[in-house]
Structure 1
Amino acid sequence: MLARLQSATGRDNLIEQMVLLPEPKKPFSKEPQQVKAVNLIVAYDASPNSHTALDIAFWIAHQTRLATNAEVTVQAVYVLEQNQSNQYPNVLSLPIQQPPFECQISEISQSTTQVLTQPQLQTVVTPLQQADIILWQARSLAEEWQGCFKSHLRFGCISTELKKVVESEAADILFVGCNSVNHPMIKALNSNFPCAVLGIPNCIDE
């Protein structure tokens, strides 16, 4: 995937820049590999770097689909950190010690349009409404790609919840808006992460 990206952009160092955690070693199999569905997960929080990561994921997904005819799904994951959600116990209507869980985005408040179209109103936006807005932005970007897209809202520790989604979705790659192996997020994911972790290249603005 990255080799195709390098070729298309005329760069020869994207692999070195973008691979922050390598793909874990898998047992060697002599059986022919069948074309399987590809799942690309993006840690998304609406920041410029996560926008870039999502754009790169869409581009790679498109090129992979053209080259292999494989079904490719891009999935955006936004994690509402546990300590942040605990500041608003009435929003979740859950005890503070309630274990993290996942919500389908369709179940979240539908007030996004009102918040986005009437920014002049001094409306108090709850964490769940803010999460709805963030994932709505990701879905808007996905419409341009016109491919298979899913979004997830998770509650808890970011690194823990990302790992859970990667495992449950059998993801091939996790994209993050980091450009260094020394980033705290990459250190939190650690070397035992179940799939390769790709960041954004340093040369993105060149």
Structure 2
Amino acid sequence: MNIKPMLVRLQSAIGRNDLVEQMVLIPEPKRRSFTNYQTAPSVNLIVAYNASPNSHTALDIAFWIAHQTRLATNQQVTVQAVYVVEENQNDKYLDKVNWANYLTPCECGVSDVYQSTTSVLTQPKLKGITQHLQAQIVAPLEEADRILWQARSLAEEWQGSFKSHLRFGDVATELTKVVELEAANVLFLGCRSINHAIIQTLGFNFPCAILGIPNGIDE
């Protein structure tokens, strides 16, 4: 799929003539056949979304391009938002648990390891630990649901086809997995430069084109 017509249409719509140069951070792989992708029945646009202003701009641009592409080509275009809960996120929350609030000094002693837990750790304290841990683990999931709800709300405004993905692990690894799984045509990122850390992590042999956001479009 040739992404240049998409950007040309976007340039025309917003009165800019520099979007191709500013937005294309990683070009399409040369191994792909433009002919095959131009005649493909559907187009998949993936957006790395975390509810930051830049990622919101990237999602908005993706919907804008999807709308224009549907009108110009009659192809089915699906925008997909991917939010990644970074690996060890839960560990970070667990590290914040103040165990001193629940355990007495004797409960931490080596000699107590083989003692009955019922005689050392009372039921109220066990309940307190469980509730606290549940709150700390659930917090990132609730945050993820809120973030993806924002993306779905924007999709409703554009009345376009939309999917969302919640992934756990390394951001670059999970984005690559989703791009490959969905046979994505474009990955949108909320960054403006090829020197951004996420671009360096994704690498320059990415399976699809990577587009950023241009200067001034969100001002």
Please, what TM-score do these two structures have when normalized by structure 1?
A: 0.79
Q: Does the CA contact (< 8 Å) of 1:82 and 1:156 recur in 2?
A: yes
Q: Partner of 2:168 in structure 1?
A: 155
Q: Deviations over 1:136-185 (max 9, x none)?
A: 01001110011110000000000000000000000000001000111001
Q: CA–CA distance in 1 between the matches of 2:42 and 2:66?
A: 11
Identity of aligned residues (%): 71
State the superposition RMSD in angstroms.
Answer: 2.0
2:27 aligned residue (22, 27, 49): 22
**Distance of aligned partners of 1:72 and 1:30 in 2 relative to their CA distance in 1, 3 Å threshold:** closer
Offset at 1:9?
A: 1.4
Q: For each residue in 1:37-63, what CA deviation from the matched residue of structure 2 results, as whole angstroms up to 9, or x when unmatched?
A: 000000000000011000000000000
- Are the equivalent residues in 2 in contact too, given 1:35–1:68 (CA < 8 A)? no
Q: What is the aligned partner in structure 1 of residue 69 from structure 2?
A: 64
Seen in structure 2, the aligned counterparts of structure 1 residues 134 and 2 have a Cα distance that, compared at 3 Å, is same
> 1:73 aligns to what?
78
Of the three residues 197, 202, 205, the one matched with 2:215 is 202
Q: State whether structure 2 residue 184 is matched by structure 1 residue 179.
A: no
Amino acid at match of 2:201: A
Structure 2: gaps spanning 5 or more residues: 1-5, 95-134
Cα drift, residue 27 of structure 1 = 5.2
**Contact 1:75 1:152 (8 Å CA) reproduced:** yes
1:32, 1:42 → 2: CA distance? 19
In 2, distance between residues paired with 1:167 and 1:79? 16
Amino acid at match of 2:184: A
Q: 1:133 pairs with 140, 146, 158, which one?
A: 146
- Number of matched residues? 173
Q: What secondary structure is seen at the aligned counterpart in 2 of 1:182?
A: coil
Amino acid in the other structure paired with 2:7 = L
* TM-score normalized with structure 2 length: 0.74
Is the Cα contact below 8 Å between 2:57 and 2:218 reproduced in 1? no
Q: 1:38–1:72: 8 Å Cα contact kept in structure 2? A: yes
Gaps of 5+ in 1: 90-122
Among 160, 181, 192, which residue is 2:205 paired with?
192
Higher gyration radius (CA): 2
CA displacement 1:43-93 (0-9 Å, x = unmatched) = 00000001100000000000000000000000000000002133346xxxx
Change (3 A) 1:42 1:35: same
